[in-house]
Structure 1
């Protein structure tokens, strides 16, 4: 059976071509499991920068029995249009949507497709493909889907999360044309190299107010052996030297993380990698092991420099812990990057300025790279509920469910003290000032042995 897997998306953001670094890892898993039994063609619209007419031609050439479309929030409209285009080209094509955003807003996506996968999709989409292949197109016996039965929306019982992630196949990057993705200069290899995403776990035990998670709060981890094997395979097969761990809290299981770092350090695998975690999930042992295991960059989601706001958004750490985490990672020789958000519910001028002052301090003192952004409001997140209930924030006029505003640094909510204009002024002022602060050479005067101690 022919399947067309599509990651839709804006080809131009604010008039600029934006090249993607690598495919989305969740999308890659879906394409890979489908390719085990079916012929799968993958189209990453924004990476390949194709037009609507070119996409229509692809539909005609591939003649798919089933079209699988992923969607993130800011591609909401593009995803719907992609599904509608498939139906215009061939009304008999089965159109399937999946991902965190369609899971939250399945009613919207059923206006442009036949079925929406709810939650983790690997097993569900295989059963959908089997039904299409058998010519039944009946979803009644499939868990974890939403579909229309006449005018009625049917939502089936959710499927249990995949307990053993080692059972999943490694994402098959041969399905993707990597010439469409950005290659980045590497000081380590003295040439441009491609980045590859790798997922070592699913689930997050924390409930940050701005987050809407697909994988739930129960953490499930792949074995270190599985992760290392995937890196080694991709190194051999694709000459992949650089990996980004697609785990929001890579160190949540300390014992497992240390074992992973030890294996990477001991095995003769010429790879480097980046990771993301919380500031209260690191210590000297962790960052030292990460460095020895080949980690180059650690990313923290700091989000605020105000203690009151940190509590309101679900962060349990303190401002002192933030600096400690940046310091110990820097001392270990890791490049530290972090994100800060302006415009949380209950944000005030004072709390926003504290966030900026903390970011500036860490930039000057440790040379930390950082990203400032206005808060994005995702469906099913706590912030969305707060805006609906006018709890610490309200919707900006015309911005409720304006998914195109996501990741555009446009204020969609405002607080009692800071309106849309003030929030956007803060954001652009802070960003401009931070750009003027050069990264400090934190290691100036330190020897390699000093860093490795």
Structure 2
């Protein structure tokens, strides 16, 4: 019987300390909570937060006598780590069943299975809270695997892709994340997921790989999680990790009203879009404890914005930053350099926009191609990238604090009008504009 489940977040700091905030692994926490609800014995190993090596993770898995191990490959740089970990788990105990899930695994299921040498038993596509219990039920009761929606696997040397699982329509049906399964003192802040999915389809973004539309938790459900965290683990900064926090203004308004009414007295931040905000909601956000808002601007060149399918205008950017400042909130802006068609001139326009609007901070990154995105499809079709040749371990925008990853810049230089050196120098220059 497969009743002893261990969920693992691999340690992507193995190569270099990225010096970034540590956030709880929310996907694993939700899956863990659901599996506990079904009566399974669940453990979570966050190798990233604990800075564990692969051998240390394997030792813990063996010690826990796991029968099924679920590994997160939510990010593309986890591809090789997930593969290596699977191989070493199988070497330690070939009877352990291994499943891989997350955004990258969902978009790259055939590639991962093709290259796993039999070490991965299943790819769990889509929302793990839906797929994981169904798979375990099938394994434990000898149900035909072809009936399990959302899994990919190898049978008789053939890769089988089962029908997709349905979305979870009501997120309130999910139990609150199983925070008791991790060491909460290891994390710098709380990570709140108040919605899943994004109504927009930016070409470089992998948000729609798992959720094709937006699903919202009720404001009451979200506030109950805030209260649980504060009452159980104490106050920390909260980060709403939604793709677009204000995608539904009516929903956001109700959430803020309850936060204010209950006098939660927390500090928090969020990410949203310049064309999904207004002065009233920003002022209410500040009253509810918001300290800063992050906006994905991406470029100061309207042609680049249109190429990315951002569906925003430069006027909307300027207006949003102006009213955010007026509301008394700090504002941070994200910019990408190296999208197909990028030139020195288009980057300079991004610099000019920052100098004009004066955000609190501006962060620059080289464009990263992600499986499942329109950008990835374009680059593959035009022979700029190949699944088999990507160096996944180096597919980061940065490699350590304030140091840009040369591999990502080298990739981008093949499809834009800037060299690897120019891309890195421009990112460094853009990063410094608001520091003056």
- 2:205 aligned residue (202, 211, 215): 211
Superposed, 1:49-448 pairs within 5 Å as 49-71=51-73, 72-110=75-113, 111=116, 112-134=119-141, 136=142, 138-182=144-188, 195-213=189-207, 214-362=209-357, 365-366=358-359, 368-390=360-382, 395=384, 400-407=389-396, 408=398, 409=405, 410-411=408-409, 412-414=411-413, 415-431=415-431, 433-434=432-433, 436-437=435-436
Aligned counterpart, 1:27: 28
What is the CA-CA distance between 1:388 and the residue it aligns to? 2.1
Q: TM-score, normalised by structure 2?
A: 0.90
Alpha carbons of structure 1 residues 249 and 180: separation in structure 2 relative to 1, 3 Å: same
Aligned counterpart, 1:449: none
- Are the aligned partners of 1:47 and 1:180 in contact in 2 as well (CA < 8 Å)? yes
What is the CA-CA distance between 1:242 and the residue it aligns to? 2.7
What is the CA-CA distance between 1:246 and the residue it aligns to? 1.6
Alpha carbons of structure 1 residues 219 and 52: separation in structure 2 relative to 1, 3 Å: closer
Higher normalized contact order (CA 8 Å, seq sep 6+, divided by chain length): 2
Q: How far apart, in 1, do the equivalents of 2:26 and 2:348 lie?
A: 36
Gaps of 5+ in 1: 183-194, 438-453
Aligned counterpart, 1:6: 8
Residue 317 of structure 1 aligns to a residue whose secondary structure is coil
Gaps of 5+ in 2: 399-404
Range 327-336 or range 208-217, more displaced:
208-217
- Are the aligned partners of 1:396 and 1:413 in contact in 2 as well (CA < 8 Å)? no
What is the CA-CA distance between 1:378 and the residue it aligns to? 0.3
Q: How far apart, in 1, do the equivalents of 2:269 and 2:12 lie?
A: 27
Residue 6 of structure 2 aligns to a residue whose secondary structure is strand
Q: State the superposition RMSD in angstroms.
A: 2.1
Alpha carbons of structure 1 residues 64 and 167: separation in structure 2 relative to 1, 3 Å: same
What is the aligned length?
416
Q: How far apart, in 2, do the equivalents of 1:138 and 1:87 lie?
A: 24
Q: TM-score, normalised by structure 1?
A: 0.87
What is the CA-CA distance between 1:230 and the residue it aligns to? 1.4
Residue 213 of structure 2 aligns to a residue whose secondary structure is coil
Q: How far apart, in 1, do the equivalents of 2:248 and 2:149 lie?
A: 30
What is the CA-CA distance between 1:297 and the residue it aligns to? 1.6
Residue 264 of structure 2 aligns to a residue whose secondary structure is coil
